[in-house]
A and B are shown apart, each in its own frame.
Chain A
Amino acid sequence: MNQKAVLVLGGGIAGIQAAIDLANMGTKVYLVERKPSIGGRMAQLDKTFPTNDCAMCILAPKMIECANHENITLLTYSELAELQGESGRFQAKVIRKARFVDEDKCVGCGECAEKCPTKVTDDFNAGLGQRKAIYKYFPQAVPSTYVIDPDHCRLFQGKKCGVCEKICKAKALDYGQKDREIILDVGAVIMATGFDLYDVSPLSEYGWGKSKNVLTAMQFERMICASGPTMGHLKRPSDGKEPKNLAFIQCVGSRDVRHKKYCSAVCCMHATKEAILAHEHYPELSSSIFYMDMRAVGKGFQDYIQRAKTEYAVEYIRARPGRITENEENLNPIIHYEDTNTRELKTREFDMVILAQALTPSETNASVAEKVGVSLDDFGFVSPSQDPLNPFATTRKGVFACGFCQSPMDVPDSVVRASAAASKAAETLASR
């Protein structure tokens, strides 16, 4: 029925879902992702609430479905440069960044990364581990093609190297590769640019970056993930010991006029999930969650909280801690707080503290929005639709938005909204 194509910006779970739905309707889809692989933030998660499904296990099949779908063209490591035309007749210019590795030749064997001499802090593991200057974004990456990070590669930094080219049996290295420009004709655009993590170092009272045993939730998520830097073992960064008790501090940067005024929507639940997982890994371990309002509003969420309390040794303390100091002997973080239920001022020592950092629109959202011609709100989210019957509309006709770039939301909401945006895009194509 639809001859026209749709451009989807962002290859996280929302973008993937929108692409698959449209492709299944018979629409041609271009899925643009700026990172070397699709998968987005969900790929970094260990498990997902409230069913504790392994995130990668339910995401990987979708990623692969995308890659293998005859109607979907994956454009990873690519960015939108401009969008011209109007609803039904857009022309998009997309830059395919140079990987310096030929996507058609690379088999993803990993020999190059093994021999590469340069170690780089690994963003995917939230800075906890290291990768090489030639790397695969994560083990299950789609496509599985390696990519050279020219900011760190010895060769690109003017030093002598070239080890990867020598070692590659597939002859996939291409140091001379240049950024390429491609032009796409599309009828509609879906923005699904997702979220980034708020930098919590300005919240100096919580000591992140100074106290070794204070982690962010994403760091903890990578640590407890079997494919993470510690293979799923909890280890205190200060001494490598297994923690016996954990504290989770909620609203770190969220619901805070000094930082982000909004509620990040998923932290109450992911803290509960992480506490449950930690207890599953180590049955003697207990957790305390410091919260303001326990916003467990989704289907099955209240039961999940109940189970955390009764089966997984999770304690909920209604308090916003004032500061975290450090026990100088064992480097245990010490939390100073007022329990607002009992009105007692307390200090309590924990083995490890996990901060539920605020989530913000993707750092590139502003530049993407500018190129797409869509206005953003004060926080950098896509401005709420003016049409209450079409919550996916943006300020540009024919451009729709879904997922976290609209407002903080969890996986089920993102998936629903992605399918919904696909419906609106299909409607736009059908109406012409």
Chain B
Amino acid sequence: MQPSSETAKENAAGDLNDRIQELIEANHLHLCVECGKCSAVCPMVNFYGEYVPNRCTRSVVERLRFGTDFVDDEALWYCWACKECTFFCPSGVDFQSFMTGFRLLLVSHGYREQAHFCSVCGAYLMPKKQLECLEATMNDKPNKELLYECPKCKKDKYAAVLHSLAASSRPSVRP
């Protein structure tokens, strides 16, 4: 029998919560002692004017302790995964890996509005916020195009070019 759409939604939400809990444990978010060092080293704070403290690294940790009802919050997409917080955390919390995993999880659960995808294969590439910012700061047109393809697709494309070159003229290989 087909489950009703309501039940499916509930199951999906329950699954998301469970998967978030797994991520929390895998990246030791439960070891956070709320010291505030991560927020203090986070470069994004200076980057986004509206990136107010209660949306930053530590805030995500603290809000997750009491529920996951904020998964559609735009601020979850502000992090650029620079790893400063993870490097400096005195408690061993790997916030960068958590964030990376968390985004993939959100995308796979349909929270796609804030995400930017590869124009070729459709894989998740980076947060939209990051794209906008890079677009604004990178003036060079050819480089800019690189922002729309994922590394794998880029590699495939170059491989294809190489293959075509190789097929057209076979250079002799020196011993």
A and B bind: yes
Q: How far is the CB of B82 from chain A (nearest CB, A)?
A: 13
User: Which B33-60 residues have a C-beta within 8 angstroms of A?
Assistant: 33-42, 45, 53-54, 56, 58-59
Within 8 Å CB of A340, what residues of B?
A: 34-36, 58
Number of A-B contacts (CB under 8 A): 60
Residues of chain B within 8 A of A321, CB atoms compared: 37, 40
Residue of A nearest to B28 (CB): A257
Contact A319 B35 (CB under 8 A): yes
| Interface of A: prevailing SS | loop
Which of B1-9, B86-94, B134-142 lies at the interface with chain A?
B86-94
One digit per residue, 1 when the CB lies within 8 angstroms of any chain B CB and 0 when it does not, for chain A 359-386 equals: 0000000000000000000000000000
Contact size range, A: 20 to 34
B46 to chain A, nearest CB (A): 9
Q: Is A343 within 8 A of B40, CB to CB?
A: no
| Also in contact, A257 and B92, with CB within 8 A (given A205-B41, A338-B53, A345-B53) | yes
Nearest B-chain residue to A291, judged by Cβ:
B35
Are B90 and A319 within 8 A (Cβ)? no
CA distance A337 to B35 in the complex (A): 10
Q: How far is the CB of A246 from chain B (nearest CB, A)?
A: 19
Question: Is A111 part of the contact surface with B, judged by Cβ < 8 Å?
Answer: no
Residue of B33, B37, B53, B59 touching A322 (CB-CB under 8 A): B37
Distance A338 CA – B58 CA, assembled complex (angstroms): 10
Chain A residues near B54: list those with CB within 8 A: 343
Assess the B37–A345 pair: CB atoms within 8 A: no
Q: Give the contacting residue for B90; candidates A256, A338, A345; CB below 8 A.
A: A256
Please state if A255 and B90 are interface contacts (CB–CB under 8 Å). yes
Say if the beta carbon of A323 comes within 8 Å of chain B: yes
A345 touches B39 (CB 8 A): yes
Check A344 for interface membership: any CB of B closer than 8 A: yes
**Separation in Å of the A146 CB from the closest CB of chain B?**
44
User: Within the complex, which residue of B35, B59, B92 is in contact with A320, where a contact is CB–CB below 8 Å?
Assistant: B35
Given the complex of chains A and B, what is the CA–CA distance between A36 and B42 in angstroms? 48
Interfacial chain A residues near B90, Cβ < 8 Å: 251, 255-259, 320
**Residues of A307-322 whose CB lies within 8 A of B:** 318-322
| CB of B86 to closest CB in A, whole Å | 11
A-B contact pairs, 12 of them (CB 8 A): A255-B90, A257-B90, A319-B35, A320-B37, A321-B40, A322-B38, A322-B88, A338-B56, A343-B54, A343-B59, A345-B45, A345-B56
- Show the binding face of A for B, using Cβ within 8 Å: 205, 251, 255-259, 292, 318-323, 336-340, 343-345
Which are the 10 A-B pairs with shortest beta-carbon distances?
A322-B40, A320-B35, A338-B36, A322-B41, A256-B90, A257-B92, A338-B39, A320-B37, A340-B36, A345-B53
